[in-house]
Structure 1
């Protein structure tokens, strides 16, 4: 699938609530990226806005994020819909979808935490993996990548997930496109067209999956993408969503 840059992409058409099924990333898509994952600022009334959108779509709606499921549930108290966490390793509302943590998780997290302390990086533990953020040391990315690659040689069952100023190790069996494929079997999505919005490299497989099913993807923010359309930032996403709900 071709990669498109900014001049080639237009905003998406209005969301068709009678025809579309909607899947949204969280960080960088609904909320702005923050210096720390726990320092995000939620748009006013976000949970209620998502609940209204889910109702308008007849339930054909889900959040699909790399964050821990428990964090998403806490941030979105008042939204009771489908939520995928951990890049597909965790799910609320999808029976039998949770992936057991890899056996070596504790040892892996210990190594990553020690490296973060030694190199003055931000370490983010996750229910099924962990991430190293180097936003505070933007030139240190190659060293972080080399360390992450060395861990892959020592610990089985994980895959590397590059992100914005971060590298994450997640279960090899978890990915957003696989999560979408499982969601797609639910009766509420039957006969609809998938639309996926995301901002990061972890979202590209889901964008490609949506296109392969006859739908489309929307890239949020700058950068190359396989998406057909682009929105500038989370504020633009929320404005677009208001037009569909």
Structure 2
């Protein structure tokens, strides 16, 4: 008999974790906005979007990219020999709409990825069952208009930021759907969101795949993220001796900390400015 209990588990890492900082990482004591390392010239960057580069919006489609952020990312990309990847729960097509087709990118929590050559890699999953689940979730969203249903293609998310009292209802509904879908899908928690996603793919697996390729190979990997979904990335970065940076409050496997998206941008600008001074 299939183990439905395993299928419906919430795959987000949870609970407090206190780990030593990366061996050899030196704190950037001159940076006043957080506890972060001094980045070397050979850093490679993996950047979450919502809650990290941008403040979280009430609805995902409401975010806008300002010119300063676009210029900053392009400058870091050029300074690092192209070693910048956007790592997001959003679909790749949506990320490209926001940032242009200018970066390596992993979307839908690693279910799809575009490498530095422009080649797309997609995790193959049976979508017929997910379409049926989506139909039932649309009915739930119609019953509760404060919920935001997001169809990403291979993932389906339900945001309850405008109705936190519905969190338990959303979680239980998605848990049951994941149980019905079987081993190909699993439940993912996030900040005021629950998501059905393909099993076995996450931000950590996406970063690991990038690290085996140019231009990230042999660079010091840096991953910045803010959510439960980013913990997989932090744990991978820690295993390979990179720099993991958590944005905001809460328990995390990350070794370093920044308070908000503004501080993230300020720290990245500091890297750019130092590179200019030393070049």
Indicate whether the TM-score tops 0.5: yes
Deviation beyond 4 Å, 4+ runs, structure 1:
none
Q: Highest CA radius of gyration, 1 or 2? A: 2
What SS does structure 2 have at the residue aligned with 1:97? strand
User: Equivalent residue for 1:234?
Assistant: 261
1:80–1:41 distance in 2 versus 1, CA, 3 Å: closer
What SS does the aligned partner of 1:170 have?
strand
CA deviation string 1:144-190 (max 9, x = no partner): 11111111111121111111111011111321111111111113222
> What's the TM-score, normalizing by structure 1?
0.91
On the 8 A contact 2:237/2:244 being kept in 1, the answer is yes
Q: Does 1:173 align with 2:223?
A: no
Q: Cα offset for 1:3?
A: 7.2
In structure 1, C-alpha distance between the alignment counterparts of 2:163 and 2:216, rounded to whole Å: 43
Structure 1, gaps ≥5 residues long? 5-9
In 2 relative to 1, CA 222–43 (structure 1 residues): closer, same or farther, beyond 3 Å? farther
For residue 96 of structure 1, report the CA deviation from its aligned partner: 5.6
Q: 1:107-158 deviations in whole A, cap 9, x for unaligned?
A: 1211111111112211111121211111121122111111111111111211
Runs of 5+ consecutive residues of structure 2 not aligned to the other structure: 1-16, 21-33, 273-279
Q: Summarize the Cα distance change of 1:61–1:23 in structure 2 as closer, same or farther, 3 Å threshold.
A: same
In the other structure, the counterpart of 1:21 is 44
Over aligned residue pairs, what C-alpha RMSD do you find?
1.9
Who is 1:164 aligned against? 191
Alignment coverage as a number of residue pairs: 239
Counterpart in the other structure of 2:235: 208
Contact 2:225 2:245 in 1 (8 A): yes
